[in-house]
Amino acid sequence: MGIEFALFGTGSQKGDSLLSKNSKDGSITLCFSVDGTDYEIRRGLKRTPTSVNQNSKECNLKIDGENYPLAASELKQEVLKILKFNEPAAGNAQSRIFRYAVFTPQREMSEILMDAEKRLETIRRAFGVEDYKKAIENATRISSLIKTRSAVIQERFRNVPELQSSIDELEREIANDRKKETELTQKKNKKEDEKAAIIKKRNDLTEKNSKK
């Protein structure tokens, strides 16, 4: 419990379970190395009339001897980076990897590994398999929706080639009708010119006869 508190803070633990009932305050210092770098973490606890909380004044991280005062939440974020644990950095979130892969006593771990259901559940919790499982399920559901919508769209536009053929045929008919209309207009104009010429001749003849 002390190591877990030093690394990750209270998390899901209760502060009064970490501090002696007769103590007003306390602290823990943890030294460890990762990839050749030395780290030292110090966290403190302080009792209040109603609870036991982390003491923000005693929250430090030393890296190769250089001290970095940090807030409790900031210290947890740094520890997760150092340990390369892909886990939530929320203050009340426990480290599943530490709790199930490091903290669990060897005998209890052996019992867990002997039970198929417990083994699967432990591995899922420790390495966040459930998160990946949900992501895969969401991806599968989205993929199914995309396929369904694609099928609907394909069905909707299935007759597009036939419609295009009909449109092309209508356009050809319209072009032919316009050509015929142009020809008829030209014939009409020619007939009107001929009619006007005949009327003019008739008027000329009428005028000549009236003068005789």
Give the residue numbers spanning the domain of 195. Answer: 159-212
Say if 129 falls within a structural domain.
no
Q: What is the pLDDT of residue 88?
A: 66
For residue 158, the one-letter residue type is R
* Total domains, the chain: 2
Say if 141 falls within a structural domain.
no
Q: If you average pLDDT over residues 154-177, what whole number do you get? A: 83
Say if 189 falls within a structural domain.
yes
Q: Answer yes or no: do 88 and 163 share one domain.
A: no
Report the alpha-carbon angle 131-134-139, nearest 5: 125
User: Which of the four pLDDT bands, split at 50, 70 and 90, describes residue 38?
Assistant: very high
Say if 150 falls within a structural domain.
no
Show which of 65, 93, 121 is a domain's final residue.
93
- Using DSSP's 3-state secondary structure scheme, residue 128 falls into coil
Say if 116 falls within a structural domain.
no
Say if 182 falls within a structural domain.
yes
> Per residue in 52-109, pLDDT tens?
777 777 888 889 988 888 888 888 888 888 888 766 666 565 666 666 656 555 555 5
Task: Please indicate whether residue 161 or residue 40 has the higher confidence score (pLDDT).
Answer: 40
As a residue count, the chain comes to 212
Q: What is the pLDDT of residue 147?
A: 86
Lowest-confidence segment of 17-21, 173-177, 183-187 by average pLDDT: 17-21
pTM attached to this predicted model: 0.45
At residue 166, does pLDDT exceed 70? yes
Of 9, 72, 5, 66, give the one whose Cα is nearest residue 39: 66
Matching residue, tokens 């559901």:
141
Say if 53 falls within a structural domain.
yes
Matching residue, tokens 């190591």:
3
Task: Please indicate whether residue 5 or residue 75 has the higher confidence score (pLDDT).
Answer: 75
The CATH number of the domain holding residue 81 is: 3.40.50.300
Selection from 19-28, 52-61, 99-108, 186-195 with the highest mean pLDDT? 186-195
Return the percentage of the chain with pLDDT > 90, whole number.
2
Show which of 52, 78, 93 is a domain's final residue.
93
User: Which of the four pLDDT bands, split at 50, 70 and 90, describes residue 15?
Assistant: low
Show which of 93, 110, 139 is a domain's final residue.
93
